[in-house]
Chains A and B, each alone.
Chain A
Amino acid sequence: MTKTATIMIDDQTYQVPDGINLVDAAKLHGITIPVFCYHPKMESVGMCRMCLVELGSISVNRDTGEPDLNDDGSPVVRWFPKLQTACTQTVRDGTVVRTSTAQVLEARDNILEFILTSHPLDCPICDKGGECPLQNLTMAYGPGRSNFIYDDKLHLDKHVPLGELIYLDRERCIQCARCTRFCDELVGDDVLAFHERGRSLQIVTISDPPFDTKFSGNTTDICPVGALTTADFRFGARPWELDEVPTICPHCPVGCNLSASTRIDRDFGGKKMIKRIMPRQNELVNEIWTCDKGRFGHHHSRAADRLQHPMMRQGGEWVKIDWATAYHQIASKLKKYADSAGFLAGPTLSNEDLWELRQLAELTGDTPRLGVWPAAMTGAGVVAQVGIGVNTRLQDVGPETAILVIASDLEEEAPIWWLQIKQAADRGAAVVVANARETKLDRVTHTVVHYDYGDAVAVLNSFAARARSRRKTSKALLDNRVDGYDDLAAGLKGTRVPFADAADVLLDAENVIVFAGAEGLTLDQHRELMQAAANLLIITGHVGRQNNGLVPVWPGANVQGALDIGFSPETTASLIDEPPAMWFIGGADPAADDSQAAHVLANAEFVVVGAQFMTATAAQADIILPRQSFAEREGTYTNGMRRVQRFYAAQGPVGDALPDWTIYAQIGARLKGPKPPVSAAAVMRAITQHVPRYAGMGYSSLAHVEAQFPDVGGDDLYYGGTAYANHGGLGVQWATDAEDDSARLVVRPAQIEKPEKSGDLCIVPVRLLYDRGPLFEPSDIMHQRVPEPYLELNSQDAAHLSIADGDRVMVTAGEIQIETAARVNGHAPEGVVLWPRRLAHGPAPALFSACSVQKIEE
């Protein structure tokens, strides 16, 4: 984008990046070319014809290369004889355009008149009314009155469900194909299509189940009219009544920037409530997209069964207590169990909560036990060394970059990263997908590595060995900055390279990004995986730069923050192995996720649980503290790319619930701790002073917003669709060691013992996006998308056990016995039982473990 082109718009000369779209070029300089179908994130289709302009180019003398001049010295312009659509043009030197001549204005007027002939003009009852590009452009450029006879209007169905989440109003559709292009081109899910032709052309869903994609809500944002509405929001409020509050999705490590549209509402006791969730533009994170979990999974914040008051267990009964009593009780228990207390932080605790929890824990001793939940992934140190380079923009990644995704079902675990990698593949990025089973990402690439569970680390080691044998190592880095290379090299000697093609795809790229999950790995094994990934990146020099480095697919929205503030999954493991007498748990539900943890908690002497709901863990507590959801309070989350991002209070309070940090600080004050801080901002200030990587990340710098390109989100609705303006901040990403030239990088041999093939079946827990976790289940609107509990069996194994698809089965894994349904669909490798987490409420195996499966005869 460094080359510039000199172009003329409306007789003025401008410099713009060479080769960008003409509509975007005009927008850069504040000139409006109205559009309906053009969208900067999608290929141009030239359908609506709203962007017609006079177009020409400066005539250049072939011999001299100089522009030909008129008598008055102005350059000769060769004009197209007819108006041209601006959206199908890219600019280059000498492009000349006129955007507001009489001819252009007349053409716009004509196009609008045409669009309105078929339009119902039911603005007063239309959800888009008030933020509608068609309304806006009609006011700006449209005919004052129509020549079309009203009785000639075509009438079509107005409430067509395209699945249970999105409704189509056929009359309002202006056939711009944004929704179909989004699904076809950007997502690659074949779910929407045009049916029929001419004036009968209409949007239909062609998938079964209908509109079967995890990104469906985005179509309602980019639809330039009120044709697509969500079941969540339609007829819910008028746009001008809404107050937009910037927030961050609490569901996964992507950390989508969202906007909560809020209103004081009767349905919520006259308090401010979230009426809908919209994406908020952050080109470095989610661009303008969000997944349907993020969009529709906000109902937990005002669910009727939210915990409202602190409670204490007395003789098997829950008794409501006040906060003062709760603080006092807990403080005295912490004093009593100071030598044997364990602290466990869940994945939706904000950095402020985590900090205050740590302050509280440190009042009980110098080295408190701080665990993070889920304890499925580790590698804080590795991330600090070689995490993805600062200012990485996945949307710019192309043929020069290779992306490895290992041990993760990315669409289920971090949907927007999946979407961005899919699009990178379309732009020519080389994608390598490595897992023990097929996942949806496989379809974006030819380079798929299917290893045996247990071989993930060996695969990475073989890539590193290949880098050495092909001399693809970075001499500069190895000579000057790396410790432990000799040991690593010795360990890699003689390593077999079974997937040489995949290795070469990575080794031949200019940039390499690794996304690492933990599917099929124990915590100890995952530590090795992260190290093996770091080894590969370090020795090949793919660290410390934009679009290079490691992205952990953490099991939660703020696991990175928890690690940064000193919580660790290793501590969690030790807490379960050597349980403390007292547990202090915030925002985690280990009892539901892990039957072993449930067992340990049941035997603890005193358990304090901060929770939003009466979870399995809360049910085992001695004191329950109602914590506020992400909606009622402010705070910061640190996403999987180490970007620290602010969210703001979007909803009125629920009962007596308080933000976790307040609760912890109040208890601390009763343990001779400092006076509780007055605000989340103050807590963040403390963090910036004590956590070096967060230095300078005060609330005002986190709230900083710069102009973004393409400027899709603006309140001017320039590109149609809905506004996604970011008024909450772009966040700040902390730099890794690799980005500091003076810092040393450490490699070491990484290895895991491959379990012996025993002939037994093994359970491999996998993550699903749509589950029955406590923060998602309250969103009734999504229930149809959450599958009934099931496990997946390999067809060979199923045949041996005489189990057919759909049979009821009994799984026995150690102490646990679970009845569920079997799926035999070709996705599970032999000997493996895939176990989707959090579909059932009962006990669950957390880790890779041996099991047996038996059919339940009717």
Chain B
Amino acid sequence: MIHILLRDLEIPDIWQFDTYTANGGYDGLKKAVHDLSPAETIQIVMDSNLRGRGGAGFSTGRKWSFIPKDAETTYVVVNADESEPGTFKDRQLLEKNPHQVIEGAMLAAYAIQAAAVYVYCRGEFWDLAHALEDRIEEARQANLVGDDILGTGWDCDVHVHLGAGAYICGEESALLNSLQGLLGQPRVRPPFPAQMGGGLYYQPTVVNNVETLANVPWIIVNGADAYKKIGTPESPGTKIFCVSGHVAKPGNYEIPLGLTFRELIYDHAGGILNGKRLKAILPSGASGPVLKATDEVLDAPLTYESVAALGSTLGSASFILMDEDTDMVWAAAKMIHFFKDESCGKCTPCREGTYWLDKIYARLLRGEGTAHDLEMLEKVPNQIAGVTLCALGDFAVNPVLATLEHFRDEYEQYIHQPEFGPEPAQAL
């Protein structure tokens, strides 16, 4: 089993600058600035078919190539907001293998000739952020960050910024607003961050997830072909799966894309806690549709395209496992409550719709649910989906629609079975 990312598992001290460099650290950056043009750097990443690990799985090389060639000022922003329920991979990378993230960010910066790199950390990462500043200083001392990098005349510093604890600030345009000191709400797109007017301070900007960038040094050193040998053609490379919930060995697992659900859950993560049966899987935290743990699902490969074919998303690969005792209505209620709390409130359907759904779930859980409520659970999500300003609105309806699709009987119990509560309250 190779680790491209979680190299601390083999080399516990890799967070230290000397250990990192002794193990090939910053060779990618050196290679790029000395031997590769920015365009060649982009081309290698493009050829590697690396896909963004922040959620959408968009081609990283293509994203970089969108930066206008004539842009005077460009930026790289590292998305370390890691707020998806059940995601904890970026934390491990930043804590245990931080120089690789810095190097990856510097490679992105070199590729687009950025003026600066900003690392946007979620507010709760304050300890990490301070440590990261020390790591950046080490790189600065080694002339890998800052002025006249490696004697090439290229200046680019790295800055760390702490958010204030809002899920929406992981969404790239809200993140940029927050970084600029504005209210953390998404922007109208186009212009997209890579375009003029859409990025940080309205300059073309690449926003990448921590894990995405951590792949880049390996790709530059070993080449695109070597990278594509790992994983599948459509989903090359390794991916960190954050496995949590009713699982024997919760934790981060870096495995090549293309292994099956079953292999990940049973071979790597030790199966379900207390030998219970697996009931449902959230492959991408709260934001992707829940999957019923059927054989079809368990034998499907873990790739962007196959999870999509199952009707869910791989997203940032936060695997939350739920055993046979899990109350799916309760689980959906939790997630809706989360989205209701985290909706930024900028657009009407998400702001009002999540509030409404949360009220319905609260009533269901109190045992006061009605047939009207069940009807609304089918109607309201469809009033939200597809018409919101950002994807959070689309995420928010997934817990409702997917649990209704797979576990409708549980909802009906909440409404018809007296032991769950009094007779249905009066509908409108």
- B-contacting residues of A (Cβ < 8 Å)? 44-50, 52, 82-83, 85, 88, 107, 110-111, 113-115, 117-118, 147-149, 152, 154, 174-175, 193-194, 196-201
Q: List 10 A-B contacts (CB under 8 A).
A: A45-B346, A46-B389, A83-B387, A107-B387, A114-B349, A147-B428, A175-B346, A197-B184, A197-B185, A197-B343
Q: What sequence of 0s and 1s flags, for each residue 333-353 of chain B, a beta carbon within 8 Å of any chain A beta carbon?
A: 000000011111111110111
Closest CB-CB distance, A423 to chain B, in whole Å? 18
Q: A197-B166, A198-B342, A201-B345 are in contact. Are A113 and B355 (CB under 8 A)?
A: no
Residue in A44, A113, A194, A198 with the greatest tally of chain B CB atoms within 10 Å:
A198
**Which residue of chain B is the closest to A116 with respect to CB atoms?**
B352
List, in ascending order, chain B residues with CB within 8 A of A199's CB.
340, 343, 345, 351-352, 354-355
Chain A residues, CB < 8 A from B185 = 197
- The answer to whether residues A200 and B345 also contact, given A114-B353, A115-B352, A148-B356 and a CB cut-off of 8 A, is yes
The reply to whether B379 and A147 contact each other, CB–CB distance below 8 Å, is yes
Partner of A198, one of B188, B344, B375, B387: B344
User: Which residues from chain A contact B376 at a C-beta distance below 8 Å?
Assistant: 147
Given A83-B386, A83-B387, A147-B379, A49–B352 Cβ distance below 8 Å?
no
B359 within 8 Å of A by Cβ? yes
In the assembled complex, B73 has its CB within 8 A of some CB on chain A? no
* Chain B contacts for A148, CB-based, 8 A: 356
Cβ contact within 8 Å between A198 and B354: yes
Chain B residue numbers with a CB within 8 Å of A46 are 188, 347, 389
- In the complex, which of the residues A47, A118, A147, A194 contacts B352, with contact meaning CB atoms closer than 8 Å? A118
A197–B389 contact, CB under 8 A?
no
The number of residues on chain B lying at the interface, defined by a beta carbon within 8 Å of a beta carbon of chain A, is 33
List chain A residues, Cβ under 8 A from B348.
47-50, 111, 114-115, 174-175
Chain B residues near A48: list those with CB within 8 A: 347-348
Contacts A83-B387, A149-B428, A199-B351: A47 and B346 contacting too (C-beta < 8 A)? yes
B71 within 8 A of A: no
Contact with A along B367-389 (1 / 0, CB 8 A): 00000100110010001001111
Shortest beta-carbon distance from A36 to chain B in Å:
8
Residue B219 at the chain A interface, CB threshold 8 Å: no
What chain A residues lie within 8 Å of B352 (beta carbons)?
114-115, 117-118, 199
Q: Is A52 a contact partner of B351 (Cβ separation < 8 A)?
A: no
Contact between chains at B340 and A198 (CB < 8 Å): yes
By a CB distance below 8 angstroms, the chain B residues around A174 are: 348
B183 within 8 A of A: yes
Known contacts: A83-B387, A113-B383, A117-B355. The answer to whether A197 contacts B428 by CB under 8 A is no
A111 and B349 form a contact (CB under 8 A): yes
Q: A147-B379, A147-B428, A199-B351 are in contact. Are A47 and B389 (CB under 8 A)?
A: yes
B183, B356, B388: the one contacting A194 at CB < 8 Å is B183
**Contact of B387 (CB < 8 Å), options: A45, A52, A118:** A52
Does any Cβ of A come within 8 Å of B109's Cβ? no
- A118: chain B residues within 8 A (beta carbon): 352, 355
Least CB separation from A148: chain B residue: B356
> Whole-angstrom distance from the CB of A47 to the nearest CB of chain B?
5
- Please tell me which one of the listed residues A44, A47, A107, A152 contacts residue B359 in the complex, with CB atoms under 8 A apart: A152
Among residues of A, the one whose C-beta sits closest to the C-beta of B427 is: A149
Assess whether A49 is in contact with B388, with CB atoms less than 8 Å apart.
Answer: yes
A197 with B345, Cβ < 8 A, contacts A149-B428, A154-B355 known: yes
Residues of A within 8 A of B383 (CB): 110, 113-114
Q: Which 5 A-B pairs have the closest CB atoms?
A: A201-B345, A114-B352, A110-B383, A198-B343, A199-B355
> A114-B349, A115-B352 in contact; A82/B340 too (CB < 8 A)?
no
**Do A193 and B183 touch (CB < 8 A)?**
yes
* A45 CA to B344 CA, complexed, in Å: 14
Shortest Cβ distance from residue B394 to the other chain A in the assembled complex, whole angstroms? 10
Contact with A along B297-321 (1 / 0, CB 8 A): 0000000000000000000000000
**Which B residues are in CB contact (< 8 Å) with A45?**
188, 346
Q: Is B168 an interface residue (CB 8 A)?
A: yes
Bound form: Cα–Cα A148–B168 in Å: 26
Cβ proximity bits B170-196 to A, threshold 8 Å, 1 near / 0 not:
000000000000011100100000000
Closest residue of chain B to A145 (Cβ to Cβ) is B428
State how many angstroms separate the Cβ of A109 from the closest Cβ of chain B: 9
Q: Is the CB of B388 within 8 A of A197?
A: no
Given the known inter-chain contacts A147-B376, A147-B428, A199-B355, please indicate yes or no for A47 contacting B347, CB distance below 8 A: yes
Residues of B within 8 Å of A201, CB to CB, are 344-346, 351
Kindly report which residue of chain A lies nearest to residue B386, judged by CB atoms: A82
Task: State whether A49 touches B347 (Cβ < 8 A).
Answer: yes
Q: How far is the CA of A148 from the CA of B345 in the complex (A)?
A: 19
Contact B351 A198 (CB under 8 A): yes
Bound form: Cα–Cα A52–B344 in Å: 20
Cα distance, A488 to B338, chains bound together (Å): 75
Residues of A within 8 A of B372 (CB): 147, 149
Chain A residues within an 8 Å CB radius of B346: 45, 47, 175, 201
Query: What is the distance, in angstroms, from B337's C-beta to the closest C-beta of chain A?
Result: 11
> Do A44 and B188 have beta carbons less than 8 Å apart?
yes
Q: Does the CB pair A198–B389 fall under 8 Å?
A: no
Residues of chain B with a CB closer than 8 A to A107's CB? 387
